[in-house]
Amino acid sequence: MPGFELIGEEERAALNELMDEGGVLFAHGFGPMRKRYHVRELEAAFRDKLGANDALCVSSGTAAIKVALKSLGVTYGDEVITQCFNFIATVEAIVDCGATPVIAGSDETLNMDPTQLEGLITKKTKAIMPVHMLGVPARMNEIKAIAKKYKLPVIEDACEAVGAKYNGQYAGTLGDAGVFSFDFGKTITTGEGGLVILQNAEMAEKSRWYHDHGHMNLEGRPRGLDRAGITGFNYRMSELNAVVGKAQLAKLDYILEESGKRFKVLCDGVTVPAFKKRAIPEEAEPAFDTVIFEVKDKNLRDSTIALLSDMGFGTKNLPDAMNWHCSVFWDHMGFDTRTPAAMETLALLERQIAIPVVLGRSVEDYAALADALNALAD
């Protein structure tokens, strides 16, 4: 989550330059008043960085999920398989398309358990959407193999995994579509914003139409005389967000390197069996967003949370925001939230403690935290 920590002169200079160029904040048109199209430049920069066929900037990670679903034609009567541990936006987007979320439980990675996946597929299944929670990729080899067997598309919710890799490939580029979030708590931030990665040209075209009220943006036609390709909505990113995004993207490698140092020293430094480290697939390189330990003893868990507060680290999502990150709590959405797999996942999540990795704390601070956790468990 360090993106907001590094907002500085580069972002200020980019915003000032935008104003000096004419101050056009809209991503389309106004050619005589502007010098550049920054949203389009940010899309190209992400496409090149991630090695993707196409990239589309949108207004949020939530919007990115919905745009990806719409590009696949997800609608009323369809089912989309996702996982119990996610952010509520994953399921909200499915419901907002009129589809029904089908919830898989989590394995020791805390992401989608591939062994449950095949049993959840029905004739109504339209897509599979694993979520790379808190920077760790799901078991994509197994998930993709099942998806291929049933000829189902895979949407990767990589909103919390910007920069993570699997089999040496960036998360978000492994499936048919991938989505990212750039809100203020993410690895890099545009304040609000998101990105859709699409490997299929037809899906990419539909996504561009849908996120812009259906605009086809036909070459040589002013927007007022343009045609609509589909019924769309407004999920556009502004130029303000884009110039900040370009400055932040330039810092991504540094963020990952420095976060990795803190992640490693904490993970390697905690050696007592009472703190069980979250499993990371051997094919995966995480985004080093969060270190998660399973602590089965409730008294030790409570003491650990108190220690993290006293030392100024706090926790992230587990346990402090469970209501927003576990589908068991979302009865208001009108689907079966309390399946056996979901309840088992809830019990698993209730034993976890997630520690945020921030650059405002030094590597030495995380080493000291590791020593304190070892001492606490002795």
Show which residues are catalytic.
Answer: 186
| Dist. CA 355–CA 319, nearest whole Å | 10
Instruction: Give CA separation, 239 vs 13, 230, 333, in Å.
Output: 14, 24, 34
Instruction: Tally Cβ neighbours within 10 Å of residue 378.
Output: 7
For every residue of 168-222, DSSP letters joined together read: TEETTSSSSEEEEE-BTTSSS--BS-EEEEESSHHHHHHHHHHTBTTB---TT--
Which is it for the CA torsion 183, 186, 190, 191, positive or negative? positive
| Dist. CA 369–CA 208, nearest whole Å | 46
**Residue 319 preceded by cis peptide, ω within 30:** yes
Task: Answer whether 73's CB lies under 8 Å from 230's CB.
Answer: no
| Dist. CA 352–CA 119, nearest whole Å | 27
For every residue of 314-361, DSSP letters joined together read: --BSBTTTGGGTBGGG-GGGSS----HHHHHHHHHHTTEEEEE--TTS
Secondary structure (3-state) at 276? strand
Task: Answer whether 137's CB lies under 8 Å from 286's CB.
Answer: yes
Task: Answer whether 179's CB lies under 8 Å from 58's CB.
Answer: no
| Dist. CA 88–CA 207, nearest whole Å | 22
